[in-house]
Amino acid sequence: MLSLPNPSMASSFSFSFIVILGFLSVLFLQINPSHCLTCSSQKFSSNRVYAHCNDLPQLSSFLHWTYDSSNSSLKIAFLAPPADTNGWVAWSINPTGLSMLGSQALIAYKVGGGMVVKTFNVDSYQSIAPSKISFEVSDMSAENSGGMMKIFATIALPSKMTTINQVWQVGSAVTSGIPASHAFEAPNLNSKGTLDLLKGESSTPSGGDDKLRNRNIHGILNAVSWGILFPFGVILARYLRTFQSADPAWFYLHVSCQVSAYVIGVAGWATGLKLGSESKGVVYSTHRNIGISLFCFATVQIFALFLRPKKDHKHRIYWNVYHHGIGYLIVILGIFNVFKGLEILDPAQKWKRAYVILLIALGIIAVLLEVITWAVVFKRKSKKSTKSSDGYDVNGGE
């Protein structure tokens, strides 16, 4: 006879799954934007050698440089992957502040079958054109290899300028020799810092690491809540209630799982609101709107727990339709929004693959349980069981 393990075994299954989630959460905390390459491992053609190098914290970029105090010249090599194969990369000095606006930029991009690098005085976000800049630049050249565009140049600086504001950037397209606007994602907006030419040190504005950590925490909380716990809670309710031996354990497991998911989800939602308030000009409309919708739907579901009619109440069927419909909607929107969040956070591919594998595992479990559930239901019907009215059939209410 087909039967489900007793409630204690169901509890063990739930506990084991939560342990796995905790383990995955610890792994997700390791997400960071670091890359496998480091500037110390990079070599250049034409015997180019530099005194210092820095792994820049945004856009997978690197800067090699040598400062000659005797003539106030700065020799640089800047490397970054463009946002698209036909895109562009830029490195600039801003004499007035840490922003792209007002920067004196060197921008490299493809022309025909080769590479060029030109100077741009970035005095507008709307349109730019090649122009002279505030510094004399010599020995300019550009290369493209290994997925990296490289800018080489020597810049004559004022004698007292020993600390510079550097801003770097990447873009996806060039139209008629004019670089198109870059993306306004967080890495693009945070690609800036200072370079102390005498000490040989680079630094970035404070708070950048904290913001990245908060972004990761936001992503982890929401992935665990909307993307994992809520679907798992639905699986518990849909399939365990079919088996008489699991009653009422399945209900308490379902409620515990969904309430935990809600609490974690609200924490993730609040973290997202805080990140949004701290990131002026950075708007992820679809991700934000779905997040707000999820919070509203989940809140309605929590209140549904207190409004649940008894099984024999004449309005119970309407409650079932409403509760199940919103529950499945939360699952669909939650998983979709996790993928939108992964696009924004842009972690290493292994984390996206891990989440996809986890979803596939949940899907396989759901399919197997669906088959077992219907087998149990048909077997009961064949014996003319009357228990379908007691809330244990596959479409029964809670």
| Domains 7-32+209-390 and 58-203 agree in fold | no
Q: How far is Cα 222 from Cα 284, in angstroms, rounded to an integer? A: 15
Q: What is the pLDDT of residue 28?
A: 47
Q: Which of 16-30, 32-46, 353-367, 378-392 has the highest mean pLDDT?
A: 353-367
DSSP characters for 72-108?
A: TEEEEEEEE--SSTT-EEEEEE-SS-SSSTT-EEEEE
Q: How far is Cα 338 from Cα 344, in angstroms, rounded to an integer? A: 10
The structural domains of the chain, with segments of one domain joined by +, span: 7-32+209-390, 58-203
**Domain boundaries 7-32+209-390, corresponding CATH code:** 1.20.120.1770
Q: What is the homologous superfamily of the domain 58-203 according to CATH?
A: Cellobiose dehydrogenase, cytochrome domain (2.60.40.1210)
Backbone φ, ψ for residue 117 (5° rounding): -135, 130
33/347: higher pLDDT: 347
Instruction: Indicate whether 205 pLDDT > 70.
Output: no
Identify the weakest region by mean pLDDT among 33-47, 155-169, 308-322. Answer: 33-47
Instruction: Indicate whether 206 pLDDT > 70.
Output: no
Q: How far is Cα 338 from Cα 219, in angstroms, rounded to an integer? A: 8
Backbone φ, ψ for residue 63 (5° rounding): -130, 125
Identify the weakest region by mean pLDDT among 98-102, 153-157, 346-350. Answer: 346-350
Instruction: Indicate whether 128 pLDDT > 60.
Output: yes
For 210-226, how does the pLDDT look when each residue is reduced to its tens digit (9 = 90+)?
666 788 888 899 999 99
Instruction: Indicate whether 11 pLDDT > 60.
Output: no
Backbone φ, ψ for residue 135 (5° rounding): -120, 150
Instruction: Indicate whether 197 pLDDT > 80.
Output: yes
For 246-279, how does the pLDDT look when each residue is reduced to its tens digit (9 = 90+)?
778 888 898 899 999 999 999 998 888 888 776 6
